[in-house]
Structure 1
Amino acid sequence: MAIDPLDNPLQKASAQDGTPGMPPDLVRFDHVVKRFGDHVVLDRLDFGVQRGKHVTLIGPSGSGKTTILRLLMTLERVSDGVIWVDGEPLSHMRGPDGELRPASEKYLRGARRKIGMVFQQFNLFPNMKVLQNIMEAPVNVLGIGREEAEARARELLDLVGLSDKVDAHPSQLSGGQQQRVAIARALAMRPEILLLDEVTSALDPELVAGVLDLLRDIARTTDITMLCVTHEMGFARDISDQVLMFDAGRVIESGPPEKIFSDPERDRTREFLSAVL
């Protein structure tokens, strides 16, 4: 069913001007609900992320954090509400008279070009060499010439410390090296928004620090907007401009990392942090 954005003042504001006196959000969740059958995973979720900021989502397993990233990557569709990216609807498209209606697959393919995601599992193409893994999407999705795509891929492999693995296959790499390739592959799409979903959870403990250090460097040296789901609280404290604490599909507390980690207001936040720190 079509949604009239003028029926919802919050949607109208996020789509146009943002909160008065504040820069408009690059990403905005407006009254977003996600259900799987009768199970409500996200319950009328409202939050925004400003351009260039790094926001970390923390909370217990099953609280809806990864679902947020999957909705942004258009791997799942919202049940209710609207997601906005850069002032335009992501989850919906505008009809001829301006009303919002569920987005077509063609629309979604175009909308998600601004967004890159690094998953828990590396999801590399096993039959392709490292260089090909990084070049594939820029060539076939963005239409970049192979020469330009290869030059960019080699730059990124140098950035992630794997310039000597150009001709290796994923099976010849360690888990940490495969995740570095996955990060380079996401960056090859030149995303405005980078989604990080527990990117160290599949790694052996001794490989975690190297991947987190790489992500710290990317956060410090680029203007990419980041949304990160992680149980690595030290990493969250280091890179975040804002931390959101989730429980049962809702944000129950948000603030700068020094506030959330040192002086949280909610008992549930304190309880969670005492279990993971």
Structure 2
Amino acid sequence: MPQSDDNNSAEVPKAREAEEQPLVRFENVVKRYGDNVVLDELDFNVLPGQRVTLIGPSGSGKTTILRLLMTLEQVDDGVIWVDGDPLSHMYRNGALVRASQKHQRGVRKKIGMVFQQLNLFPNMTVRRNITEAPVHTLGMSRDEADERAAELLEMVGLADRIDEHPTRLSGGQQQRVAIARALAMRPEILLLDEVTSALDPELVAGVLDVLREIARTTDITMLAVTHEMGFAKDVSHRVLMFDRGQIVEDGPPERIFSEPREERTKSFLHAVLEAG
């Protein structure tokens, strides 16, 4: 059994109640690719305002969790809940059935994601990359979307690049634009999938500093997959160690990184920190 410091015992903001409804809940979730079971009856909760980091070896199921939340993949069994509403399913005649795409789009509006790949539109300016979705999906006015884009670019240190095209920006700058674009949709949950893995080493610090500032100045819920252990230690309320589709260990970063209880966690952290 995984060692845990109580699944909801992390240091969330003091105003949060321990019995508060989870913002994200995985209930016996199974995901397979052929005969390969990537998530094996996975259960875990994330409370509003928590910043949770998922660590573990490649192929342990971490990114699959984010892809399921973005409905880029579908569960094979179990149910995913977001803010009390089923995401993977919906109610029909009082019973839970597989969700329609329309239902999933509605629930997914609460979630934003920043991917490993930058995924910016090269034919659009930075401004339009950030404003198109709020205007067309949220019904935001063009003026409001422009104002929001300017505020977010100021926050990520790129206010003077609003009318540039992404191809004229460095990889680190493009990733900061991608972060601003995700936040422009005013999500309750921000998913981060190895957002620095495609960057040159000298660009990593700038992106992580932006994310640290977001963590410091907002109460947005974060679910991050990363191999940047220093970042995980700095921003997380909880760290979850994954292996073979299951949570091996769950606890606050100060314990996970200094006194891990599970041998699998110890060996993983030793390998990662030695490589770094």
Q: Could you tell me the TM-score, scaled by structure 2's length?
A: 0.92
Aligned counterparts of 1:272 and 1:219: Cα–Cα separation in 2: 26
Other structure's SS at 1:25 match: coil
- 2:99 corresponding residue in structure 1: 103
Other structure's SS at 1:111 match: helix
Measure how far apart 1:150 and its partner are.
Answer: 0.7
- 2:225 corresponding residue in structure 1: 229
Runs of at least 5 residues in structure 2 that lack an aligned partner in the other structure: 1-16
- 1:56 corresponding residue in structure 2: 53
Aligned counterparts of 2:32 and 2:88: Cα–Cα separation in 1: 15
Runs of at least 5 residues in structure 1 that lack an aligned partner in the other structure: 1-19
Q: 1:79 aligns with which of 56, 71, 76?
A: 76
Matched ranges for 1:1-277 at <5 A: 22-96=19-93, 98-277=94-273
Measure how far apart 1:189 and its partner are.
Answer: 0.2
Aligned counterparts of 1:90 and 1:52: Cα–Cα separation in 2: 19
Q: Match for 1:115: what amino acid? A: I
Measure how far apart 1:167 and its partner are.
Answer: 1.1
4+ residue segments displaced more than 2 Å:
none
- 1:17 corresponding residue in structure 2: none
- 1:3 corresponding residue in structure 2: none
Aligned counterparts of 1:258 and 1:156: Cα–Cα separation in 2: 31
Other structure's SS at 1:40 match: strand
| C-alpha spacing 1:145/1:276, structure 2 compared with 1 (3 Å) | same
Q: Match for 2:257: what amino acid? A: F
Other structure's SS at 2:163 match: coil
Describe the superposition over 1:214-267 as per-residue Cα deviations: whole angstroms up to 9, x where unpaired. 000000100100000000000000000000000000001000001110001100
Other structure's SS at 1:107 match: helix
Describe the superposition over 1:167-198 as per-residue Cα deviations: whole angstroms up to 9, x where unpaired. 11111000000000000000000000000000
Aligned counterparts of 1:21 and 1:246: Cα–Cα separation in 2: 24
Describe the superposition over 1:77-128 as per-residue Cα deviations: whole angstroms up to 9, x where unpaired. 10000001111101101112x2111100111111110000000011000100
Q: Match for 2:83: what amino acid? A: D
Aligned counterparts of 2:271 and 2:36: Cα–Cα separation in 1: 26
Q: Match for 1:70: what amino acid? A: R
Paired positions, count? 257
Aligned counterparts of 2:248 and 2:207: Cα–Cα separation in 1: 29
Provide the alpha-carbon RMSD of the alignment.
0.9
Aligned counterparts of 2:254 and 2:162: Cα–Cα separation in 1: 40
Q: Could you tell me the TM-score, scaled by structure 1's length?
A: 0.92
Aligned counterparts of 2:235 and 2:18: Cα–Cα separation in 1: 25
Measure how far apart 1:37 and its partner are.
Answer: 1.5
Other structure's SS at 2:109 match: helix
Q: Percent identity?
A: 72
Aligned counterparts of 1:151 and 1:238: Cα–Cα separation in 2: 31
Aligned counterparts of 1:95 and 1:255: Cα–Cα separation in 2: 37
